[in-house]
Amino acid sequence: MVQTTQIVLASRPSGMPAEQNFRTETVELPAPGAGEALLQTLYLSLDPYMRGRMSDAPSYAPPVRIGQPMVGATVSRVLESTDPALAPGDTVLGYGGWRSHSVEPLRQLRKLDATVAPVTTALGVLGMPGFTAYSGLLTIGRPQPGETVVVAAATGPVGSAVGQIAKIKGAHTVGIAGGPKKVALLKDRFGFDIALDHRAPDFADRLAAATPDGIDVYFENVGGAVFDAVLPRLNPFARIPVCGLVADYNATELPPGPDRLGRFMSTVLRKSLTVRGFIQSEFAPDQFGDFLSEMGGWIRDGRVHYLEDIVDGLEHAVEAFGGLLVGKNLGKLIVEVAD
Ligand code: NDP
């Protein structure tokens, strides 16, 4: 019998998740059955969508039940396998959750080759977040050469990929991030044409000055004050892939100030905007293969760069996750669970 140390959801957070909303426990795992493998987690991905799983508000995916381990993508080492295609010692991408060990169906696992790319990239630039950027930008945003593309959370795995893919497609790119360190990275590492700090008191004026020709694609990652500043800058026929609204994930009430829905809908109408929400899994069956080969090529050619923020130890997962929601992470947030 193998034991797993796991972080379970003890209660549903109101506002920012706190340590008391979780419990760490050690339980025995069943032996893997036919079509299953026993895995040791090496790396756990922490992603903003997990905040939604902690809540029982209606969503596109069911919530984590109270007392159940938190879900999450993982890179793991195979300890035991019932299929010759996966041998002990192999490294796989799976969905083991916030746990040191897991038993998972083999059909849910993808074997990784560390000689092709560092295995952690399967959680970021070559994984779900990179694919989110690729599919949402190219399918909904459709940036054309010379157009202006704006994205916030732009040093994160989604936003940084959005900016770099938009640049490859010939667009003029405006990246938005929080604080001087991240803003410097936008230009130096990710090649944005313009870098802006959404925390600056005159952010809306700076955005207006930085977009003299208006905005053709706004890749919506954050919502909140950034969206308020973007809305008046949108050009006729602008496209808005609505990917995430992280500014609101911990909200317990509506934002202060007047109801802005009327102004928003009137802008959608007058400017013939396309506002299209999406969950990346919608596009995966048709596009994930193309994404892996194209993104892999861009990384090899030095046209796409990535940044990872690796936190040591599962015991730091809750604190690190809270930090992600307020921008304390610097790049794709990953927990190193075992060596
Ligand atoms: P990041 O690693 O970029 O982390 C989130 C970032 O959001 C923070 O680092 C912070 O960056 C920024 N942020 C937090 N609060 C605010 C705020 N009030 N105003 C502006 N920015 C804020 O996350 P990901 O790249 O993993 O995800 C980006 C977005 O994409 C999220 O909304 C996520 O939910 C969404 N997503 C959607 C998917 C889909 O299928 N639709 C799939 C994957 C992700 P900073 O310090 O720069 O402010």
Do 155 and 220 belong to one domain?
A: yes
Q: What is the rounded average pLDDT of the residues 272-294?
A: 98
What domain range includes position 229?
A: 128-281
pTM (two decimals): 0.97
Do 63 and 118 belong to one domain?
A: yes
Task: Measure 29 CA to ligand 1 centroid, in angstroms.
Answer: 34
Residue to mutate (ligand 1; options 221, 242, 325; most atoms within 8 A of CB): 221
- Tell me, yes or no, whether 252 lies in a domain: yes
Q: Give the position, in ligand 1's atom list, of the atom nearest the Cα of 331.
A: 2
* Domains held by the chain: number: 2
- Tell me, yes or no, whether 243 lies in a domain: yes
pLDDT 10s digits, 237-261: 999 999 999 999 999 998 888 999 9
Q: What is the rounded average pLDDT of the residues 15-19?
A: 96
Query: Strand 148-151 to strand 172-177: parallel, antiparallel, or no bridges (unpaired)?
Result: parallel
Do 177 and 253 belong to one domain?
A: yes
CA-proximal residue: ligand 1, atom 3 (nearest): 156
Do 257 and 323 belong to one domain?
A: no
CB 99 within 8 A of CB 69: yes
Query: Strand 22-29 to strand 91-94: parallel, antiparallel, or no bridges (unpaired)?
Result: unpaired
Specify the range with the lowest mean pLDDT, choosing from 54-63, 173-182, 265-274. 54-63
d(Cα 317, Cα 21) in Å, to the nearest integer?
12
- Tell me, yes or no, whether 299 lies in a domain: no
Mean pLDDT of the chain: 97
Q: Domain of 62: which CATH number?
A: 3.90.180.10
Residues 6+ apart with CB under 8 A from 281: none
pLDDT on residue 242:
98
Do 134 and 113 belong to one domain?
A: no
**In the chain, % of residues over pLDDT 70:** 100
Do 275 and 157 belong to one domain?
A: yes
Backbone torsion region of residue 327, taken as left when φ is above 0, otherwise alpha when ψ lies between -120 and 50, otherwise beta: left
The beta-strand segments (E) located in 106-160 are 110-111, 148-151
pLDDT 10s digits, 118-164: 999 999 999 999 999 999 999 999 999 999 999 999 999 999 999 99
CB 88 within 8 A of CB 15: no
pLDDT 10s digits, 32-73: 999 999 999 999 999 999 999 999 999 999 999 999 999 999
Do 52 and 173 belong to one domain?
A: no
Do 186 and 105 belong to one domain?
A: no
Check if 158 has its Cβ closer than 6 Å to any atom of ligand 1.
yes
The two three-digit tokens of residue 314, written as one number: 């599962």
pLDDT on residue 256:
87
- Tell me, yes or no, whether 72 lies in a domain: yes
Do 145 and 266 belong to one domain?
A: yes
Residues 6+ apart with CB under 8 A from 75: 41, 42, 43, 91, 92, 93, 94, 112, 119, 120, 122, 123
CB 296 within 8 A of CB 127: no
Which candidate, 42, 102, 111, places its Cα nearest to that of 83? Answer: 111
Q: Give the position, in ligand 1's atom list, of the atom nearest the Cα of 160.
A: 25
* Helix/strand/coil for 116: coil
Do 96 and 238 belong to one domain?
A: no
Check if 72 has its Cβ closer than 6 Å to any atom of ligand 1.
no
pLDDT on residue 320:
98
* Helix/strand/coil for 189: coil
pLDDT 10s digits, 189-219: 999 999 999 999 999 999 999 999 999 999 9
Do 138 and 166 belong to one domain?
A: yes
Task: Measure 155 CA to ligand 1 centroid, in angstroms.
Answer: 9
pLDDT at 1 over 90: no
The model's confidence at residue 339, banded by pLDDT at 50, 70 and 90, is confident
- Tell me, yes or no, whether 302 lies in a domain: no
Do 93 and 156 belong to one domain?
A: no
